Amino acid sequence: MQLQLPEPSPDALAASHSLHQLIADDIDRNSGWISFARYMELALYAPGLGYYSGGAAKLGKDGDFTTAPEITPLFGAALAQVAAGLMAQTQPRILEFGAGTGKLAFDLLTEMQATGVAVERYAIVELSGELRARQQETLRAFPQVVWLEQLPECFSGVVLGNEVLDAMPVNLLVKTSGGWLERGVALEAGKRFVFQDRPCDADPARQIPDAEALPEGYVTEVHPQAIGFMHSLGAMLSNGRNAGGAAILIDYGFPAHEYYHPQRSQGTLMCHYRHHAHPDPFYLPGLQDITAHVDFTAMAQAAVDSGLEMMSYTGQAAFLLDAGIGELLLRTSPDDPRRYLPQANALQKLVSPAEMGELFKVMVVGKGAALPDKFARHDRSHRL
């Protein structure tokens, strides 16, 4: 399949070729085959060359995709209302994993400053050097912001993860007449990446409900790295003298029974390059994002197995409306259409079922904290 996508600059193309060679060398060292998770890890995070660890712009009009905080400050202001209530029950600290341009942190801290809510420390775990530099510039007015290389061993407060789980490497599986195989990456003619199927080391289909009923040729993803992250999150919120806190995770995905539906026969893997979405993960490695939808059932199970409680699972629209985003919009008078209409249109994009309102889900897990009762009316945890 020939993709008709914008041409990269010569420097970007050279960086992609360097990463291609690095991945090819890794395949050679591993007897000619690596898992897709390993390929995705290198394509996204190889030091200095991977999509998130290299220097290219990722977000906004000059990047490859746009996230909710980039659309309107109302998103961060709404999350600030929820975070303030949770911090009052735990500690006045926030930990954001993968903070993008820093826009969410800026809007959230600006809202809390305006409403008199003290944030003692705002820590960011960021793997991208380019994004960390942008965050440091965006957040220079907030001295309580610090950057971490990894999750701390213990934490009390509020954890934020907006579009974090979808960027974690996934393993690919394909069902054949002889059972499930793992779909990994090999080299053709010594240089071109191709998919190659091999027997699985263990039973990877345990995560898949009714795996036996799915048709031959069915391709899908499983998420051991994201599950491992949820276990780490549970341990972090359960450790320490001031144990307790909540994690708000926002991403696109489904419960397992929808994720592994027979009609979703080619999985959810998707790539983003210069605001073009396409399905080829081997196109210009290092210059495009590679994502998969989140299996929220697996994430919830991992959280509960790690000692956390399910506090809420719902669509983004319901969560933001319960958080008061509609009232925040009305801080701008409808009688001032020049200022009001752009904000109203941005809010519509966040909550419309035809846009982000239903595709994106919000899962809140935690320990020693509770959401206000109003969030219970739209809770869909029973569907997980």
Domain ranges for the chain, please list them: 10-379
Q: Higher confidence at residue 66 or residue 379?
A: 379
Band (224; pLDDT cuts 50, 70, 90): very high
Q: Is the pLDDT of residue 238 over 70?
A: yes
pTM: 0.95
Least confident of 32-36, 64-68, 323-327: 64-68
How far apart CA 176 and CA 172 sit, in angstroms, is 13
Q: How far is CA 75 from CA 91, 108, 116, 131, 365, in A?
A: 22, 8, 19, 20, 20
Q: Give the Å distances, CA to CA, from 338 to 70, 77, 330.
A: 19, 21, 14
Q: How confident is the model at residue 53 (pLDDT cuts 50, 70, 90)?
A: confident
Which tens digits make up the pLDDT trace of 102-157? 999 999 999 999 999 999 999 999 988 888 999 999 999 999 999 998 899 999 99
Burial readout 8-32 (b: 16 or more C-beta within 10 A, e: otherwise)? beeebeebbebbbebbbebbeeeee
At residue 223, the pLDDT reads 96
Least confident of 3-12, 264-273, 288-297: 3-12
Question: SS3 helix, strand, coil % of the chain, rounded to 5?
Answer: 40, 25, 40
Q: What is the pLDDT of the chain when averaged over all its residues?
A: 93
Q: Are 174 and 198 in contact (CB under 8 A)?
A: no
3-state secondary structure of 281: coil
Q: Which of the pair, 6 or 362, is modelled with greater confidence?
A: 362
Measured CA to CA, the distance from residue 270 to residue 268 in angstroms comes to: 6
According to CATH, what is the number of the domain 10-379? 3.40.50.12710
